[in-house]
């Protein structure tokens, strides 16, 4: 533990230098003592010391509400959250009164107003020791009753708070079935326990604010002891340190989805990452991919990459290879699962890979902190780690059978739910590339924009658009006025409130329909309308769409009799495009707001955009 | 991996310093844990798991809880690391 811990300690010295690679190194170690002590030291330090330069951490209030002693989870969670780009304020509630903490509207937990509440429970919370193990009828009744009470408390808590709650399935220690001597009874207990866990999984409703982590499954293939019975009996600690660390990392994946710091683009190497062997040396017909080991391990890796792509992750290639040969292998090799159209960019050349990654980021208009890079070469991994500390680097060394687990275990791409846009994302980016190529053939930018024949449709977000609107609010880092994501519940409240309005905007042009590319959250007062936030996908920058949307907003506000628009604004270190937009539109700063008078009326929408404002569709329409 | 050929002295002292936030120089063998600033039952348990995990040993919890000094813990740890103490 010494070297890494010395680096952590150094951060506490006056004038300490930045150490942005530290959280990633900590999150990959299994030395729980190191991480726990590091987490305690980091709790007192400025998170900027361990984040890539220029990147502001997302702040998140996280409560740990446990039915057992979970004090040691807090420092572990801090480290895992820092690695996910989150600066957390962590509050631990006392373990003995979990239900009351959840249920009471004025409990310590409720007053803390957490953005995320991690609810930790152990087997004894649902099946106390006093129930005789052989009395399965009583055990059944007791666990069902306790599950119902827990479900009620969680529902009540979700109702009076605004944040999200993460529950988990509960593993049953092997000693409990083993105290039963009849195999039949062990099976009945197993069934009873699965029913309990099913009940817990059912507490998560689609679109709701309760999530459930399937901890039982996570433990099934990990060599992690559930607990240390001595510390359990002595101090009420129901989880082993290794399990606490496993959980902290999984919970950080969920927090990443809540805070919108999930990564969006996967860049993979080819030789010995997506197939075995070296394409240039071994030839197209000799690379290892197919039905036999090790080819089947590489095929599994390709399928996993493709599955990520289908769920909305953009996939690109950075490989030191002959570009023509790479085109040929994707076009001709019969054994590959991945094809050229699965990728948004293919950089096959002999240039340094950090340069290739930067090029891909520029082409896609995404920040490098949205990238995950997977390669088998220690040289390439170290190069990228050193020169692009914002990129998450995963080295797939060793047996290719372990590649998939290495790629997905960090939870870098975790989101709360996927939408229709996710399934079409690669296609949308490919259309964007066609658009850019076409732009290069046009004599001027104006000519290009006019030739796109763009239509922008703005309307009050309907039931079909809301999930995408919420998702855009959470994943947009550049064009966002505040960096604050409105929750699904808050968005729904605003969409139906008499003085609330949530506008979704869609864009279509000669290359296709982009669907919902942005949204505006409005509170409509008499004198002024407040833009609580406005977000727009970075895919559609530099086309004047935001000004067309502002035209609609200004028109609606003026028609309602308002005299000015106010916009909330908070610099996040990443949202320069939104600041530029407000300035260009003529908003002037006033405190933490930006103000735009509505008189005299002004034209904002560019001439090359056809603007359609569609009236709110009613339930009866 | 634990290395049984190394004297636990400096390594154990560094570990205690990390867990308790007490400077290395203050951790003399006769130093009593309860005199350390901020020492609590919670610190005691963190140190217990830290020693077990770092040295790959299993300590007797009851004996550990009655171990009062840095030197006493060094002795307990050393005894647990001897080959005959291992399962």
Report the pLDDT value the prediction gives residue A436, as an integer from 0 to 100: 87
State how far residue B30 is from chain A, nearest Cα, in angstroms: 24
Report the pLDDT value the prediction gives residue A34, as an integer from 0 to 100: 96
Q: Which of A195, A69, A198, A178 minimizes the C-alpha distance to A121?
A: A69
Q: Which of A254, A124, A270, A150 minimizes the C-alpha distance to A203?
A: A150
pTM of the model: 0.86
Average pLDDT for residues A460-489, to the nearest whole number? 91
Contact B49/A33, CB-based, under 8 Å? yes
Contact A187, A140 (CB under 8 A): no
**Whose structure tokens read 């003995």?**
A96
Give the CB-side neighbour count of residue A350, counting CA atoms within 13 A.
3
State how far residue B50 is from chain A, nearest Cα, in angstroms: 5
ipTM, two decimals: 0.88
State how far residue A57 is from chain B, nearest Cα, in angstroms: 27
Contact B45/A1, CB-based, under 8 Å? no
Report the pLDDT value the prediction gives residue A222, as an integer from 0 to 100: 81
Contact B61/A234, CB-based, under 8 Å? yes
Q: Does B15 touch chain A (CB under 8 A)?
A: yes
**CA-to-CA distance for A328 and A311, rounded, in angstroms?**
26
Judging contacts by C-beta atoms under 8 Å, the chain A residues touching residue B64 are none
Judging contacts by C-beta atoms under 8 Å, the chain A residues touching residue B12 are none
Q: Kindly report, residue by residue over A25-60, the tens digit of the pLDDT.
A: 999 999 999 999 999 999 999 998 998 776 778 889
- Please report the beta strands in A43-171, taking only residues with DSSP state E, as ranges in sequence order: 58-66, 86-92, 116-120, 164-168
Judging contacts by C-beta atoms under 8 Å, the chain A residues touching residue B19 are 33, 37
Residue A550: both structure tokens together: 């502002």
Report the pLDDT value the prediction gives residue A54, as an integer from 0 to 100: 67
Residue A235: both structure tokens together: 């101090």
Q: Kindly report, residue by residue over A588-612, the tens digit of the pLDDT.
A: 999 889 999 999 888 999 999 999 9
Contact A529, A568 (CB under 8 A): no
The answer, yes or no, to whether residue A617 has pLDDT greater than 70, is no
Alpha-helical (H) ranges within A260-294 are 279-282
Closest alpha carbon within chain B to A2: B14
Q: Kindly report, residue by residue over A170-205, the tens digit of the pLDDT.
A: 999 998 999 999 999 999 999 999 999 999 999 998
Report the pLDDT value the prediction gives residue A162, as an integer from 0 to 100: 82
Exposed, middle or buried: residue A279 (CB in 10 Å: 0-12, 13-18, 19+)?
buried
Average pLDDT for residues A241-247, to the nearest whole number? 96
Report the pLDDT value the prediction gives residue A207, as an integer from 0 to 100: 74
**CA-to-CA distance for B47 and B35, rounded, in angstroms?**
15
Contact A325, A280 (CB under 8 A): yes
Q: Does B6 touch chain A (CB under 8 A)?
A: no
Contact B68, B32 (CB under 8 A): yes
Considering Cα of A317, then A305, then A485, then A455, what sign does the dihedral take? positive
Contact A36/B46, CB-based, under 8 Å? yes
Q: What confidence tier does A621 reach under pLDDT thresholds 50, 70, 90?
A: very low
Q: Write down how long chain A is.
A: 621
State how far residue A566 is from chain B, nearest Cα, in angstroms: 50
Q: Kindly report, residue by residue over A370-422, the tens digit of the pLDDT.
A: 999 999 999 999 999 989 988 999 999 899 999 999 999 899 999 998 888 89
Q: What confidence tier does B7 reach under pLDDT thresholds 50, 70, 90?
A: very low
**CA-to-CA distance for A405 and B34, rounded, in angstroms?**
45
Q: What is the overall mean pLDDT for chain A?
A: 92
Choose among A33, A71, A230: nearest Cβ to B50. A33
Cα dihedral: B8, B13, B18, B24 (round 10): -150
**Peptide bond before A600: cis, by omega within 30 degrees of 0?**
yes
Q: Kindly report, residue by residue over A106-139, the tens digit of the pLDDT.
A: 899 999 999 999 999 999 999 998 988 889 999 9
Beta-strand relationship, A265-268 and A528-536: unpaired
Contact B53/A31, CB-based, under 8 Å? yes
Closest alpha carbon within chain A to B65: A234
Report the pLDDT value the prediction gives residue A160, as an integer from 0 to 100: 81
Question: Phi/psi at A229 (nearest 5 deg)?
Answer: -60, -30
Closest alpha carbon within chain A to B47: A33
Choose among B15, B19, B45: nearest Cβ to A231. B45
Q: Does B61 touch chain A (CB under 8 A)?
A: yes
Contact A101, A65 (CB under 8 A): yes
Give the DSSP letter of residue A489: H
Average pLDDT for residues A343-367, to the nearest whole number? 95
Closest alpha carbon within chain A to B1: A31
Residues 6 or more apart in contact with residue A155 via CB below 8 angstroms: A203, A210
Contact B18/A5, CB-based, under 8 Å? yes
Alpha-helical (H) ranges within A502-611 are 545-559, 576-585
Q: Which of A296, A171, A303, A292 minimizes the C-alpha distance to A239?
A: A171
Q: Does A183 touch chain B (CB under 8 A)?
A: no
Q: What confidence tier does A615 reach under pLDDT thresholds 50, 70, 90?
A: confident
Q: How far is CA B86 from the centre of its chain?
A: 17
For chain A, the C-alpha Rg in angstroms (whole number) is 26
Contact B45/A235, CB-based, under 8 Å? yes
Contact A317, A345 (CB under 8 A): yes
Average pLDDT for residues B27-39, to the nearest whole number? 91
Choose among A1, A72, A230: nearest Cβ to B46. A72
Contact B58, B16 (CB under 8 A): no
Report the pLDDT value the prediction gives residue B5, as an integer from 0 to 100: 34
């Amino acid at each position: 533990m010494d070297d890494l811990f010395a680096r952590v300690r150094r951060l506490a010295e006056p004038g300490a230098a930045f150490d942005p690679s530290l959280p990633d190194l900590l999150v990959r170690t299994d030395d729980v003592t190191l991480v726990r002590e590091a987490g305690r030291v980091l709790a007192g330090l400025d998170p900027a010391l361990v984040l890539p330069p220029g990147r502001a951490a997302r702040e998140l209030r996280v409560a740990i509400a446990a039915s057992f002693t979970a004090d040691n989870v807090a420092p572990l969670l801090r480290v895992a959250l820092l690695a996910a780009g989150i600066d957390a304020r962590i509050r631990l509630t006392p373990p003995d009164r979990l239900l009351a903490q959840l249920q009471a509207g004025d409990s310590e937990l409720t007053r803390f107003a957490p953005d995320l509440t991690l609810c930790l429970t152990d087997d004894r919370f649902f099946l106390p020791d006093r129930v005789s193990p052989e009395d399965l009828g009583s055990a059944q009744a007791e666990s069902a009753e306790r599950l119902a009470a827990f479900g009620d408390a969680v529902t009540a808590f979700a109702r009076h708070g605004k944040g999200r709650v993460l529950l988990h399935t509960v593993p049953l220690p092997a000693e409990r079935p083993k105290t039963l001597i009849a195999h039949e009874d062990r099976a009945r207990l197993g069934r009873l326990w699965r029913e309990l866990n099913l009940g817990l999984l059912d507490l998560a409703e689609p679109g709701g604010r309760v999530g459930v982590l399937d901890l039982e499954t996570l433990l099934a293939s990990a060599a992690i002891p559930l607990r240390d019975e001595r510390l359990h009996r002595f101090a009420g600690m129901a989880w082993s340190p290794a399990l606490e660390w496993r959980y902290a990392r999984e919970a950080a994946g969920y927090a990443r989805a809540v805070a919108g710091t999930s990564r969006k683009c996967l860049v993979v190497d080819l030789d010995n990452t997506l197939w075995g062997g070296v394409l240039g040396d071994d030839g197209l017909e000799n690379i290892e991919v197919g039905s036999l080991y090790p080819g089947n391990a590489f095929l599994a890796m390709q399928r996993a990459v493709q599955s990520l792509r289908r769920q909305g992750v953009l996939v690109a290639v950075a490989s030191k290879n002959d570009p023509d040969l790479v085109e040929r292998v994707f076009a001709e090799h019969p054994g590959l699962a991945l094809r050229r159209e699965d990728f948004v960019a293919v950089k096959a050349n002999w240039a340094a890979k950090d340069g290739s990654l930067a090029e891909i980021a520029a082409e896609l208009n995404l920040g490098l902190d949205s990238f995950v890079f997977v390669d088998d070469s220690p040289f390439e991994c170290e190069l990228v780690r050193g020169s692009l500390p914002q990129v998450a680097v995963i080295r797939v060394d060793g047996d290719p059978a372990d590649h998939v687990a290495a790629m997905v275990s960090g939870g870098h791409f975790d989101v709360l739910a996927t939408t229709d846009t996710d399934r079409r994302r690669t296609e949308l980016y490919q259309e964007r590339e066609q658009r850019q190529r076409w732009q290069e053939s046009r004599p001027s930018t104006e000519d290009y924009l006019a030739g796109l024949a763009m239509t922008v449709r703005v309307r009050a977000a309907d039931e079909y658009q809301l999930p995408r609107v919420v998702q855009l609010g959470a994943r947009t880092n550049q064009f966002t006025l505040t960096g604050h994501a409105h929750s699904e519940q808050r968005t729904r409240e605003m969409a139906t409130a008499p003085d609330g309005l949530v506008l979704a905007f869609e864009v279509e042009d000669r290359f296709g329909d982009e669907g919902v590319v942005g949204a505006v959250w409005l509170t409509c007062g008499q004198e002024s309308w407040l833009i609580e936030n406005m977000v727009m996908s970075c895919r559609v920058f530099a086309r004047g769409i935001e000004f067309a949307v502002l035209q609609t907003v200004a028109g609606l506000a003026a028609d309602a009799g308002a005299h000015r628009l106010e916009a909330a604004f908070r610099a996040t270190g990443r949202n320069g495009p939104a600041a530029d937009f407000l300035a260009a539109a003529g908003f002037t700063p006033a405190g933490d707001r930006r103000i735009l008078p509505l008189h005299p009326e002004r034209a904002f929408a560019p001439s090359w955009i056809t603007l359609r404002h569609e009236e709110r569709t009613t339930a009866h329409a | 991996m634990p290395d049984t050929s190394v004297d636990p002295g400096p390594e154990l002292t560094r570990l205690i310093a990390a867990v308790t936030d007490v400077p290395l120089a203050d951790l003399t063998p006769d130093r009593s844990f309860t005199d350390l600033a901020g020492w609590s039952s919670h610190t005691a348990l963190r140190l217990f798991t830290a020693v077990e995990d770092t040295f790959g040993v299993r300590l007797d919890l009851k004996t550990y809880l009655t171990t009062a000094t840095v030197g006493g813990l060094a002795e307990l740890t050393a005894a647990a690391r001897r080959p005959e103490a291992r399962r």
